[in-house]
Amino acid sequence: MFDGLLKIAPRCDVCGADFDKADVGDGASVFVMFIVGFLAVILYLLVEVAFSPPWWVHLIFQIPFIPVVSILLLRPIKGLLFALQFEHDAQEARLDD
């Protein structure tokens, strides 16, 4: 389904289905930002309550946590949104309908 890290392939390698009409856009990144933001706040609060460290200790945890989790979640969520869009034949809204 993917051609590279996040680019959707033009067609399926197995069945040859055409993927040109389907476009996830920025939907996956919005979901990832909300999920990672929530998890980052939870991590911050857990570390703060458990250890009450100085501010730089939070940076040591948060700086690697946010980009790594974002990259790990972006591809599966983009794949899920693409699969749902393809399954339900969703298209952009048009005013002439």
Give the position of tokens 């389904």.
1
- CA 91 to the chain's CA centroid: 20
pLDDT digits (tens, 9 = 90+) for 5-38: 888 888 888 988 888 777 788 889 999 999 999 9
Domain hosting 67: range is 27-87
The answer as to whether 51 is a domain residue is: yes
Structure tokens at 93: 């809204």
Give the total residue count for the chain.
97
In the chain, the number of structural domains is 1
This prediction's pTM: 0.83
Q: Is residue 14 part of a domain?
A: no
Residue 56 belongs to some domain of the structure: yes
If one compares 50 and 12, the residue with the highest pLDDT of the two is 50
Residue 12 lies in a domain: no
Classify burial at 78, counting beta carbons within 10 Å of its beta carbon; exposed 0-12, middle 13-18, buried 19 or more.
Answer: buried
